[in-house]
């Protein structure tokens, strides 16, 4: 377990605004030396959108006129059988992410001169993927009786394939499941769209079961944190800059997670241009320490929290300009160095 491995070192959620994979990887190399994350580049190609990026091989997948959907009007029995056969045989090589869908990943994998502590990957979560991807009639595929359970199985294979490739760079990996849809989980307006808590935990557990290294989960809003903390994750990643108070409502649960060897990735650097312009490493340190403080009242020392923490931007950086994205990573690296110097 990663508890004392991190010491507030920096990593990223994934996306960058670049269209040139070489430039994106160069930025990662400059600022994320210990825990580099391969860059997703949704502005480069529609296929690098987080919902499309992991769709290759799903039964009935169709990409047409800038839209991806699942065509359930076709006979999907054979592709569904192939998917389940690969799943049962742990045959991740049959379901890769190809270069057209992840140019940043392939450029990242081409490096030969890095020596990180771990390398980070990311994959869209099954709840978010299954509720965003629809059939030809715009019905969420998660609610399809035949295909709904295939979502987590495909993503498990994609996560296992990605991790296998990343291990060529470094034997220690961390793979984060990105679940933005969890920010609406439990709301009265959206409750009808969601699966039960048991199914959510089961789907996440299914994807986690394909990951050998550290298992992370990122949610960029308020959610049912106790539910997520009871899954098999090692690292909880959240938008600390905007939602620190939401996690602070569960100090005992978070403290228990940390005592079990879990870690928190604090998304303390904003990904909005105006906020970036007014923040400094010193102001973000104040904000971070205030976010961490509630958990010290439940048997976890501040230094232990520091030891078991990563620092990240609050979410992806694809919505910024390239210059602003670099400023976010520069602030992140500066804050990480400042924290480690201060706390040793």
Tens digits of per-residue pLDDT, 5-26?
799 999 999 999 999 999 999 9
Kindly report, residue by residue over 202-246, the tens digit of the pLDDT: 999 999 999 999 999 999 888 889 999 988 899 999 999 999 999
In a domain, 188, yes or no: yes
Domain count, the chain: 1
Q: Report the C-alpha gap between 43 and 21 in whole angstroms.
A: 11
| Angle ∠(109,112,116) on CA atoms, nearest 5 | 80
In a domain, 281, yes or no: yes
DSSP assignment string, 258-281:
HHTT-EEEEEEE--SHHHHHH--H
Q: Considering the chain, what percentage of its residues have pLDDT values greater than 90? A: 81
In a domain, 80, yes or no: yes
Q: Report the C-alpha gap between 209 and 214 in whole angstroms.
A: 11
User: What confidence score (pLDDT) does residue 189 get?
Assistant: 40
Please check the confidence at residue 96 and state whether its pLDDT lies above 60.
yes
In a domain, 273, yes or no: yes
In a domain, 233, yes or no: yes
Q: Whose structure tokens read 């230094």?
A: 303
Task: Report which of 69, 233, 84, 52 is spatially closest to residue 157, judged by C-alpha positions.
Answer: 84
- E strand or H helix at 114: none
Please check the confidence at residue 190 and state whether its pLDDT lies above 50.
no
Please check the confidence at residue 191 and state whether its pLDDT lies above 80.
no
- Tell me the pTM: 0.94
Range of the domain at 157: 9-343
Q: Which of 113-127, 177-191, 247-261 has the lowest mean pLDDT?
A: 177-191
User: What confidence score (pLDDT) does residue 344 get?
Assistant: 74
In a domain, 3, yes or no: no
Q: Where residue 267 sits, what CATH number does that domain have?
A: 3.20.20.210
User: What confidence score (pLDDT) does residue 45 get?
Assistant: 94
Q: How sure is the predictor about 260, in pLDDT bands with cuts at 50, 70 and 90? A: confident
Residue 204 has which token pair?
């996440």
Q: Which residues pair with 310 in a beta bridge?
A: 9, 265
């Amino acid at each position: 377990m990663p508890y004392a491995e991190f010491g507030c070192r920096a990593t990223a959620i994934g996306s960058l605004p670049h269209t040139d994979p070489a430039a994106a990887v160069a930025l990662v190399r400059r600022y994320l030396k210990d825990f580099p994350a391969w860059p997703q580049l949704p502005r480069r190609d529609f296929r690098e959108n987080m919902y499309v990026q992991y769709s290759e091989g799903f039964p009935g997948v169709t990409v047409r006129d800038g839209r991806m959907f699942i065509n359930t009007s076709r006979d999907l029995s054979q592709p569904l059988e192939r998917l389940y056969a690969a799943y049962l045989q742990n045959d991740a090589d049959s379901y890769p992410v190809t270069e057209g869908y992840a140019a940043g990943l392939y450029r990242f994998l081409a490096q030969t001169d890095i020596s990180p502590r771990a390398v980070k990957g990311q994959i869209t979560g099954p709840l978010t993927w299954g509720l965003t991807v629809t059939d030809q009639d715009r019905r969420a595929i998660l609610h399809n009786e035949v295909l709904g359970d295939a979502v987590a199985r495909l993503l498990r294979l994609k996560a296992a394939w990605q991790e296998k490739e990343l291990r060529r760079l470094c034997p220690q990996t961390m793979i984060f499941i990105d679940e933005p849809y969890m920010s609406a989980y439990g709301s009265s307006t959206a409750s009808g769209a969601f699966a039960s808590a048991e199914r959510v935990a089961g789907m996440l557990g299914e994807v986690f079961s394909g990951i050998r290294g550290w298992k992370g989960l990122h949610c960029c809003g308020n959610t049912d944190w106790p539910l997520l903390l009871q899954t098999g994750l090692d690292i909880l990643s959240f938008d600390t800059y905007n939602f620190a108070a939401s996690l602070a409502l569960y100090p005992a649960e978070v403290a228990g997670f940390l005592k079990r060897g879990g870690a928190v990735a604090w998304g303390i650097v904003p990904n909005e241009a105006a906020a970036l312009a007014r923040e400094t490493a010193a102001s973000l340190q104040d904000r971070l320490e205030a976010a961490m403080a509630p958990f010290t009242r439940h048997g976890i020392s501040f230094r232990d929290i520091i030891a078991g923490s990563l620092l990240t931007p609050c979410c992806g950086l694809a919505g910024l300009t390239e210059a602003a994205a670099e400023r976010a990573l520069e602030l992140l690296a500066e804050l990480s160095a400042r924290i480690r110097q201060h706390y040793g």
